[in-house]
Amino acid sequence: MNKKYHIYGMGNALVDFEIETTVEQLNRLSIEKGVMTLIDEQRQDDLFKEFKNNRHSRACGGSAANTIIAAQSLGSHCFYSCKVASDETGIFYKDDLINQGVETNLTTEQLQQGITGKCLVLVTDDADRTMNTFLGITGDISYEQINETVLKDSHYLYIEGYLASSPVALSAAIKAMDFAKNNGVKTVFSLSDPNMVRFCREGLDGIIGDGVDLLFCNLDEAMAFSNSTTLDEAVLYLSKISKSLVITLGAKGALLVQAGKRITIAGHEVEAVDTNGAGDLFAGSFLNALASEYSFEQAGQLASFASAQLVTQFGPRLNDENQTVVVEYMNKLKTSL
């Protein structure tokens, strides 16, 4: 079926402040390393003051937003539903998202009063990323932000697991999944973070419902969600809730499962400086390849290559040089279709 949009995304709208820091500074500030932690506005303000002299940058983000921007940058036609406030940060978010070429409900909705969500993305010298997030108004994203006409005209619906942390957002995500399943839109879900599995398991189960078409997770999330001690056990469990499965393995590549067949995707040896957004870019590259009718294995190859390029630089989006390299790789894969 010919549809206007390749991927419809729904997720948190967070302005990411990427900050270079040290493990010692994280320990001193009692910040749990390597995971996402929800914090209140006062705690975030205090942390901003602590990091005021650290090198930093900002961009519109949120996990699903990063995935949608990645897919759009590689050629997909994408739409993103989210919620920001009418403050300076929210206007920045809207403009940055639109400048990436992504269509969004923010262009037609009147922005409400409130505080736009922010995420401190703390990058240590071991290339690990730690996130401290104040959701702000994005915690109240509701089904009102969903454009059913656009969603129905999309090949894929992509939802991030972080929405399970808010009752309002969780309800909207479940309703969006149901609408997609009832209207021939393929459903894609990401577990997002080990802490989401640890603290919001019931919500994740609610979004998955009777199963999804494609599930993304990393090894830690896979093991925690399936309560497994081996990768084989995790694959067996997750294959019952998703028709296809992608488990990212960091520098070792990824394991894909489609129709019961396992496909090993090799990693790429690079010097990593920042892993922020690598999983999001992996998902975006993968979905872009599927939407462009690459094979499942080729989608994994592209995603592995693209995410390897991303970790060699700072920031969750490919810089111009790495973007060119990834597009060249993608075109080479296309010739073998």
Name the residue ranges covered by the structural domains of the chain: 5-335
Residue 57's pLDDT is what? 84
Residue 324's pLDDT is what? 97
Residue 118's pLDDT is what? 96
3-state secondary structure of 183: coil
Residue 220's pLDDT is what? 96
Q: Residue 62 pLDDT > 90, yes or no?
A: yes
- Average pLDDT (224-242) is 97
3-state secondary structure of 314: coil
Q: Which residue has the higher pLDDT, 276 or 12?
A: 12
Residue 165, phi then psi, degrees to nearest 5: -85, -10
Residue 276's pLDDT is what? 87
164 with 203: CB under 8 angstroms?
A: yes
Q: Residue 96 pLDDT > 70, yes or no?
A: yes
pLDDT digits (tens, 9 = 90+) for 17-57: 999 999 999 999 999 999 999 999 999 999 999 999 887 78
* Separation between Cα atoms, residue 184 and residue 177, nearest integer Å: 11
Q: Residue 238 pLDDT > 80, yes or no?
A: yes
* Separation between Cα atoms, residue 61 and residue 93, nearest integer Å: 8
Q: 282 pLDDT band (50/70/90 cuts)?
A: very high
How distant, in Å, are the alpha carbons of 4, 55, 187, 233 from that of 1? 10, 48, 16, 36
Residue 55's pLDDT is what? 79
Q: Which amino acid is at 300?
A: G
Residue 77's pLDDT is what? 98
Q: 334 pLDDT band (50/70/90 cuts)?
A: confident
How distant, in Å, are the alpha carbons of 64, 95, 194 from that of 17? 16, 16, 21
Residue 279, phi then psi, degrees to nearest 5: -65, -35
Neighbours of 256 (CB within 10 A): 22
Q: Which residue has the higher pLDDT, 23 or 276?
A: 23
* Separation between Cα atoms, residue 144 and residue 147, nearest integer Å: 8
Q: 336 pLDDT band (50/70/90 cuts)?
A: confident
* Separation between Cα atoms, residue 303 and residue 314, nearest integer Å: 18
For the chain, the average pLDDT equals 96
CATH superfamily assigned to domain 5-335: Ribokinase (3.40.1190.20)
Nearest to 82 by CA among 12, 31, 174: 12
Q: Residue 124 pLDDT > 90, yes or no?
A: yes
pLDDT digits (tens, 9 = 90+) for 104-115: 999 999 999 999
Residue 337's pLDDT is what? 65
Q: How many CA atoms lie within 13 A of 181 on its CB side?
A: 16
C-alpha radius of gyration, the chain, whole number: 18
- Average pLDDT (160-172) is 97
How distant, in Å, are the alpha carbons of 158, 209, 223, 240 from that of 234? 22, 18, 6, 10
Contacts of 294 (CB under 8 A, 6+ apart): 302, 333, 334, 337
